A = this chain, B = another copy of it.
Amino acid sequence: MHKKLFIPGPVEVLPDVLEKLSTPLIGHRTKEYSELHARVRAKLQELLYTKNKVFLSTSSGTGVMEACVRNCVSGKLLSLICGEFGERWYEIAKSNGKEADALRVDLGKAIRAERVRDALASGRYDAVALTHNETSTGVMNPLAEIGAVLQEFPDVVFMVDAVSSMGGARIEVDRWGVDVCLSSTQKGFGLPPGFAVFSVSEKTLNKAATVPNRGCYFDFLTFNEYDEKNQTPTTPSLPHIFALDYQLDKWFKEGMERRFERHIQMAQACRHWAKERGFALFPEAGYESVTLTTVDNTRGINVGALNTELGKRGFMISAGYGKLKDQTFRIAHTGDLTLYDLKELLGVIDEILGQGKA
């Protein structure tokens, strides 16, 4: 039986969207492809409220994080860390031989803009990396506020992993001063994994031109060069681009405001349910993610058993991530899932818990 996915990626994908993956192929150096490319880019710019370039990458989001580090860090990176995905930024920098400092907050807490200002005031950093929505702790960091601080330091490149927020939460790239905003497609986009998109500011392209050893596959300047021909540097995953083109049209038909509002409603319903059932929320109040809820398992239920029972009924949620594996469980409510879908899931969880099966 297919399990409806309420995990933080890959998410459930609607049948009509899945079907678009099977579109017959076209050459990636043709006029037909260039039209598709330009169309998708324009829609992504609209989604991100940006006039910046938006590039298409055949990789996961982690690949684009590596791209950021290789293209934007020549001095030292400030890595803002509130969970496992923040740690990833830091590890990527180190594994690429780049200097980096970590600014860590306790798990469950958000990164505060003031702390970022204090760190940048030292003048030690040429780039900052942030996880907008930390999937391990369920914290959504205050991107607009941190972006405002970054705008006080115009020589610093601001790179944001929006993997689990883009498409589910509003991100105003230009107004908030985000230099690189990246996401993969298997979360808020409601598409399968295997593809990533990212916006890049003019300032970032100028910076990249000064950074040696950017490599080939993830070189921002090569992306830019091909993008000017409405192409990608290497053969892209055409199935994902066909589906993305279709999916973005559906979004604009739903209305972006309504899409974000749907995410907020699902998040509120999930938080309300958790508290009503005697659980706590893991993230600090005021910084809970709108795309997933990380529940503090204060009742000590057996999450493995719960997921086994859910599986028999055609659903799947996630255990905690990394250090929080046993202490939390996670319910993603993003992509094309609706309040109805979520309430159905929560009803089934209630039934399983009520029967003492987890």
Q: Which residues of A contact B (CB under 8 A)?
A: 2-3, 5, 7, 9-13, 15, 18-19, 21-28, 58-63, 65-66, 70, 88, 91-92, 95-97, 184, 186, 192-195, 212-219, 233-240, 316
Complex: how many Å from CA A27 to CA B62?
A: 17
**A58-B58, A58-B59, A213-B96 known; A27 vs B10 contact (CB < 8 Å):** yes
Hey, which chain B residues are within 8 Å of A2, CB to CB?
Answer: 24
CB A30 to nearest CB in B, in angstroms, measures 8
**A18-B24, A95-B213 known; A184 vs B5 contact (CB < 8 Å):** no
**A10-B28, A91-B216, A215-B96 known; A235 vs B186 contact (CB < 8 Å):** yes
A234: which of B62, B219, B237 is its contact (CB, 8 Å)?
Answer: B62
Complex: how many Å from CA A97 to CA B214?
A: 9
A237: which of B13, B27, B66, B237 is its contact (CB, 8 Å)?
Answer: B237
Is the pair A60, B58 in contact by a Cβ cutoff of 8 Å?
yes
Complex: how many Å from CA A219 to CA B212?
A: 20
* Other 19 A-B pairs with CB < 8 A, given A28-B193, A60-B235, A62-B216: A10-B26, A10-B27, A10-B238, A15-B22, A19-B22, A25-B186, A27-B316, A58-B63, A58-B194, A59-B59, A59-B63, A65-B216, A66-B217, A91-B216, A92-B215, A95-B219, A192-B239, A193-B238, A239-B240
Question: What are some 8 contacts across the A-B interface (CB < 8 A)?
Answer: A18-B24, A25-B192, A27-B316, A59-B59, A92-B215, A92-B216, A97-B212, A237-B240
CB A160 to nearest CB in B, in angstroms, measures 18
A25: which of B13, B62, B97 is its contact (CB, 8 Å)?
Answer: B13
Complex: how many Å from CA A193 to CA B238?
A: 6
Most chain B C-beta atoms within 10 Å of own C-beta, residue among A24, A28, A216, A233:
A216
Instruction: Rank and list the top 4 A-B pairs by shortest CB-CB distance, nearest first.
Output: A194-B237, A97-B213, A21-B21, A60-B234
Is the pair A235, B96 in contact by a Cβ cutoff of 8 Å?
no
Hey, which chain B residues are within 8 Å of A212, CB to CB?
Answer: 97
Hey, which chain B residues are within 8 Å of A240, CB to CB?
Answer: 194, 237, 239
Complex: how many Å from CA A193 to CA B240?
A: 10
Complex: how many Å from CA A105 to CA B236?
A: 30
Complex: how many Å from CA A63 to CA B96?
A: 16
CB A141 to nearest CB in B, in angstroms, measures 22
Using CB atoms, name the residue of chain B closest to A196: B58
Complex: how many Å from CA A28 to CA B2?
A: 14
Using CB atoms, name the residue of chain B closest to A12: B25
Is the pair A192, B96 in contact by a Cβ cutoff of 8 Å?
no
Is the pair A194, B10 in contact by a Cβ cutoff of 8 Å?
no
Complex: how many Å from CA A97 to CA B213?
A: 5
**A217-B59, A237-B194, A238-B194 known; A21 vs B22 contact (CB < 8 Å):** yes
